Structure 1
Amino acid sequence: MNRTNYSETGTTIAAISTPQAPGGIGVIRISGPDARKIAGRVFSPSGKKSLEELPGYTALYGRVFDESGAIDEAIALNFRAPKSFTGENVVELSCHGGLVILRRLLRAVIRAGAEPAGPGEFTRRAFLNGKIGLTEAESVMQLVSAQGEQAAKAALAGHEGALERRIASIRGKLLGAAAHLSAWADYPEDDIPQVTGEELKTSLGEVKAELDALLRGFDAGRVLREGVDTVIAGRPNTGKSTLMNLLAGCERSIVTSYAGTTRDIVEDTVLLGGIPLRLADTAGLRDTADPVESIGVGRARERVRSARLVLAVFDSSQELDESDRALIREVGDTPCVAVVNKSDLPIKINKEYIENNIKQTVYLSALTGAGLSRLEDAVASVLGTKELDPSDGMLYTERQRDAAARSLQSVTEALDALESGMTFDAVTVSVEDAVSALLELTGERATVAVVDSVFSRFCVGK
Structure 2
Amino acid sequence: MYSNDTIAAIATAVGESGIGIIRISGPEAIAITNQVFEPKQDKDLNEVESYTAHYGHIVEEEQVVDEVITLVMKEPKTYTKEDVVEINCHGGTVVLRKILDLILNQGARLAEPGEFTKRAFLNGRIDLAQAEAVADLIQSKTEASMEVALDQLEGGLSDQVNDIRQDLIALLAHLEATIDFPEDEIEDFQSEELGARIDTVQQKIDDLLATSERGKILKEGVEAAIVGRPNVGKSSLLNALVREKRAIVTDIPGTTRDVIEEVINIDGIPVKIIDTAGIRNAENQIEKIGVEKSEEYLTKAELILLVVDISDGITDEDKRLMRDAQNKEVVVIANKLDLEHQLELEKIKEILPEAAIVKTAAIANQGINELEDAIANLVYSGKINAQEETMVSSLRHKKALERAKENVSDVKSTWEQGLPNDFLTIDLRAALEAVNEITGDAVGEDIIDQIFADFCLGK
1:413 equivalent among 391, 410, 416: 410
2:79 equivalent among 82, 85, 99: 85
**Alpha-carbon distance in structure 1 between the residues aligned to 2:49 and 2:458:** 24
Compared CA separation, residues 387 and 429, structure 1 to 2 (3 A): farther
Alignment match, 1:350 = 344
Write the deviation string for residues 414-454 of structure 1: whole angstroms up to 9, x where unpaired: 22323444333322221221111111221112222222222
1:404 equivalent among 376, 401, 417: 401
Write the deviation string for residues 384-422 of structure 1: whole angstroms up to 9, x where unpaired: 485354344333444333322221221122223234443
**Alpha-carbon distance in structure 2 between the residues aligned to 1:294 and 1:100:** 47
Structure 1 position 194 matched with structure 2 position 189: yes
Q: Is the 8 A contact 2:68 2:89 kept in 1?
A: yes
**Alpha-carbon distance in structure 1 between the residues aligned to 2:401 and 2:9:** 35
Alignment match, 2:212 = 218
2:364 equivalent among 368, 373, 378: 368
Structure 1 position 341 matched with structure 2 position 371: no
Alignment match, 1:425 = 422
Q: Is the 8 A contact 1:164 1:393 kept in 2?
A: no
The aligned length equals 455
Alignment match, 2:159 = 165
SS of structure 1 residue aligned to 2:425: helix
Compared CA separation, residues 34 and 429, structure 1 to 2 (3 A): same
**Alpha-carbon distance in structure 2 between the residues aligned to 1:34 and 1:425:** 52
Deviation at 1:275, TM superposition (A): 2.7
What letter is aligned with 2:436?
L
Structure 1 position 30 matched with structure 2 position 24: yes
Alignment match, 1:308 = 302
Write the deviation string for residues 144-166 of structure 1: whole angstroms up to 9, x where unpaired: 22222222222122111111112
The alignment's C-alpha RMSD in Å is: 2.7
Structure 1 position 359 matched with structure 2 position 355: yes
**Alpha-carbon distance in structure 1 between the residues aligned to 2:7 and 2:255:** 58
Structure 1 position 446 matched with structure 2 position 440: no
SS of structure 2 residue aligned to 1:52: helix
**Alpha-carbon distance in structure 2 between the residues aligned to 1:233 and 1:254:** 16
Compared CA separation, residues 351 and 434, structure 1 to 2 (3 A): same
What letter is aligned with 1:170?
I
Compared CA separation, residues 165 and 371, structure 1 to 2 (3 A): farther
**Alpha-carbon distance in structure 2 between the residues aligned to 1:383 and 1:26:** 40
Of stretches 37-46 and 164-173 in structure 1, the one that deviates more from structure 2 is 164-173
Deviation at 1:317, TM superposition (A): 4.3
**Alpha-carbon distance in structure 1 between the residues aligned to 2:172 and 2:142:** 41
TM-score, length basis structure 2: 0.89
Compared CA separation, residues 11 and 261, structure 1 to 2 (3 A): closer
Q: Is the 8 A contact 2:15 2:93 kept in 1?
A: yes
Alignment map for 1:44-55 (pairs within 5 Å): 44-55=38-49
Compared CA separation, residues 299 and 80, structure 1 to 2 (3 A): closer
Alignment match, 2:59 = 65
Structure 1 position 380 matched with structure 2 position 376: yes
Alignment map for 1:8-407 (pairs within 5 Å): 10-67=4-61, 69-186=63-180, 190=185, 192=187, 194-196=189-191, 198-286=192-280, 296-343=290-337, 347-355=341-349, 357-384=353-380, 386-387=382-383, 389-391=385-387, 392-407=389-404
Of stretches 404-413 and 96-105 in structure 1, the one that deviates more from structure 2 is 404-413
Of stretches 279-288 and 144-153 in structure 1, the one that deviates more from structure 2 is 279-288
**Alpha-carbon distance in structure 1 between the residues aligned to 2:38 and 2:235:** 60
**Alpha-carbon distance in structure 2 between the residues aligned to 1:297 and 1:441:** 44
Of stretches 97-106 and 187-196 in structure 1, the one that deviates more from structure 2 is 187-196
Structure 1 position 460 matched with structure 2 position 454: no
Compared CA separation, residues 408 and 315, structure 1 to 2 (3 A): same
Q: Is the 8 A contact 2:177 2:186 kept in 1?
A: no
**Alpha-carbon distance in structure 1 between the residues aligned to 2:277 and 2:6:** 58
Deviation at 1:66, TM superposition (A): 1.4
Q: Is the 8 A contact 2:147 2:386 kept in 1?
A: yes
Deviation at 1:77, TM superposition (A): 0.6
Compared CA separation, residues 21 and 168, structure 1 to 2 (3 A): same
Structure 1 unmatched ranges of 5 or more: none
Of stretches 280-289 and 11-20 in structure 1, the one that deviates more from structure 2 is 280-289
Q: Is the 8 A contact 1:62 1:74 kept in 2?
A: yes
Q: Is the 8 A contact 2:329 2:355 kept in 1?
A: no
Write the deviation string for residues 93-126 of structure 1: whole angstroms up to 9, x where unpaired: 1110111111111111122232222222211111
**Alpha-carbon distance in structure 2 between the residues aligned to 1:263 and 1:96:** 44
**Alpha-carbon distance in structure 2 between the residues aligned to 1:110 and 1:296:** 50
Deviation at 1:35, TM superposition (A): 1.7
**Alpha-carbon distance in structure 2 between the residues aligned to 1:456 and 1:284:** 40
Q: Is the 8 A contact 1:221 1:385 kept in 2?
A: no
Write the deviation string for residues 127-157 of structure 1: whole angstroms up to 9, x where unpaired: 1211111111111111122222222222122
Of stretches 152-161 and 415-424 in structure 1, the one that deviates more from structure 2 is 415-424
